[in-house]
Amino acid sequence: VLKICHHAAQNAASLYYYRITRAVGLATDQGGGAEAILNTNYYGPKRVSEAMLDLIDPDSGRIVNVSSGVASMWVRDQDAATKALFSNPDLAQEELDTAVQACVAAGNVGMGGGYGLSKAALSALTLVQAKMWPKLKVVSLSPGFIDTPMTHGFGARLTPEQGCVAPLRCLFGDVTSGFYYGSDGKRSPLTCTRDPGTPEYQGEAVPSPAVYNS
């Protein structure tokens, strides 16, 4: 994929993309451990962003990181310092990478042998990129637990069409750079889960589960 991105960048000097969406993912350990999941779900989107950056419209372009509700589930269960780091709008790339590696070393990788950490890291990367590239709109989202051949039998209930609500808003609607959007297309907290249909997150420092969980 990275080679394709570099090829596109080299052969489209006059072309601008308005939106780049990354919806790749490993949900479970396929034999490579947490590092393999992180390489796909966190480092992969990071590399694609950097490779394609010069092709994104500098004034109105968007980067949409497809994260997961599992991201906020993982952050919710962390200590106060880790919660603060993974939701810090002034987070630096080096700080995030160090924290991710520390979590791997400690075995604190969440469900799926690393899926939880990888998606939390992707949502945190959104904060980093929003600060690095202030003229772009960089957002992350959860599409919801969509019933597809990959998730069949695991309790997924959303149709593929329902899974398009958040991506369509983030691609074409009114959004704020750095924000994370739930599967219903509404802003959601990073440090606790928010169920669709509950009030939209208002940015409070300590979101209450009683408000955002039905």
Angle between helices 44-52 and 115-132 (to 10 degrees): 20
The residue among 152 and 82 whose pLDDT is bigger is: 82
pLDDT of residue 148: 83
Is a pLDDT exceeding 50 seen at residue 14?
no
Cβ(25)–Cβ(43) below 8 Å: no
Q: pLDDT, tens digit, for every residue of 147-203?
A: 888 787 888 889 989 999 999 999 999 999 999 999 999 999 999 999 999 999 999
Is the pTM higher than 0.75? The answer reads yes
pLDDT of residue 31: 59
Residue 19: band (very low, low, confident or very high) from pLDDT cuts 50, 70, 90: low
The residue among 8 and 167 whose pLDDT is bigger is: 167
Q: pLDDT, tens digit, for every residue of 21-74?
A: 555 554 554 556 899 999 999 999 999 999 999 999 988 899 999 999 999 999
For residue 172, give every residue at least 6 positions away whose Cβ sits within 8 Å of its Cβ, in sequence order, or none. Answer: none
At 70, which helix (H) or strand (E)? helix 69-76
pLDDT of residue 60: 86
Q: Residues 84-113: what's their mean pLDDT?
A: 97
Q: Residues 66-94: what's their mean pLDDT?
A: 97
Residues serving a catalytic function are: 115
pLDDT of residue 151: 80
- Report d(CA 29, CA 13) in Å as an integer: 38
Is a pLDDT exceeding 90 seen at residue 17?
no
Instruction: Print burial letters for 123-160: b (CB count within 10 Å at least 16), e (below 16).
Output: bbbbbbbbbebeebbbbbbbbbbbbeeeeeeeeeebee
pLDDT of residue 10: 53
Place of tokens 């390489």: 39
The residue among 4 and 109 whose pLDDT is bigger is: 109
pLDDT of residue 149: 83
